[in-house]
Amino acid sequence: MAEMDVALKEAMQIDGAIGVALVDHTSGMALGTVGGGRELDLTVAAAGNTDVVRAKLRAMEMLNISEKIEDILITLDTQYHMIRPLTSRSGKGLFLYLALRRDRANLAMARHRLRTIEQTLDV
């Protein structure tokens, strides 16, 4: 689990990061979180975004889309919420969830950094 903690702390170094979680989309449970607090309840966000991932996977199945989800982006007035499913065999069924302050984040750089973190994370 130390590697997970390091990865989550690294994600919090992304400009504008509010909070990050590693989530099991089969159960909705956050396996680890960093940040959040009063501004964002990461446990609730993990459970809620599990529904987003499940809905997108169902829609892709109904549309016979066999591609993998690279990431899901939710844009709010003041925040970006990024969901990045893990692609490694050990990470199957897990996703990284990152919330960013929109006025402080560079979306392209955040996506790049989260991709790099996801590729090096082995759970």
Tens digit of each residue's pLDDT (9 = 90 or more) over 59-102:
999 999 999 999 999 999 999 999 999 987 666 789 999 999 99
Q: Which fold has domain 2-120?
A: Beta-Lactamase (3.30.450)
**What would you report as the CA-atom Rg of the chain, rounded to the nearest whole angstrom?**
13
pTM for the full model?
0.92
Alpha helices by DSSP H, listed for the chain, are: 2-11, 42-62, 107-120
Domain ranges across the chain: 2-120
pLDDT > 70 fraction of the chain, expressed in percent and rounded: 96
Can you tell me whether residue 79 is helix, strand or coil? strand
Q: Is the confidence at residue 8, as pLDDT, over 80?
A: yes
pLDDT band for 38, please (50, 70, 90 cuts): confident
Across the chain, what does the average pLDDT equal? 91
**What's the confidence (pLDDT) of residue 93?**
87
Helix (H) or strand (E) holding 35, with range, is: strand 30-35
Identify the CA nearest to 22 among candidates 44, 2, 10, 7. Answer: 7
Residue-level pLDDT at 32: 94
CB 91 within 8 A of CB 123: yes
pLDDT value of residue 1: 47
